[in-house]
Amino acid sequence: MQNIANKVVIITGASSGIGEATAYKLAREGAKIVLGARREDKLKAIADQIKADGGEAVYRVTDVVKPEDNAALV
């Protein structure tokens, strides 16, 4: 993988499955993670874990079918 350290990466569908796994992987590589999904409790838990592991993460509840949610996430 190319150097992703200090890059900002937005991940939708981040509260489970591939999105969650990608968030953890990229955080370990040094990326600054922006998490988006509908389940706030899961997003918060993932962001908290990334931070506990020394990474950077923020989240925003996002429904990708709503353009205004996507704009707010960005």
User: Range of 58's domain?
Assistant: 8-73
Count of domains observed in the chain: 1
The yes-or-no verdict on residue 14 having pLDDT over 70 is yes
Question: For residue 10, what pLDDT is reported?
Answer: 98
* Average pLDDT over every residue of 32-41: 98
Strand partners, 59: 35
**Is position 55 within any domain?**
yes
pLDDT grade, residue 2 (50/70/90)?
A: confident
pTM of the model: 0.92
CATH number, domain containing residue 22: 3.40.50.720
Q: Could you read off the pLDDT of 50-63 as tens digits, one per residue? A: 999 999 999 999 99
* Residue 29 pLDDT > 90: yes
Length of the chain, in residues: 74
Tell me which DSSP letter residue 14 carries: T
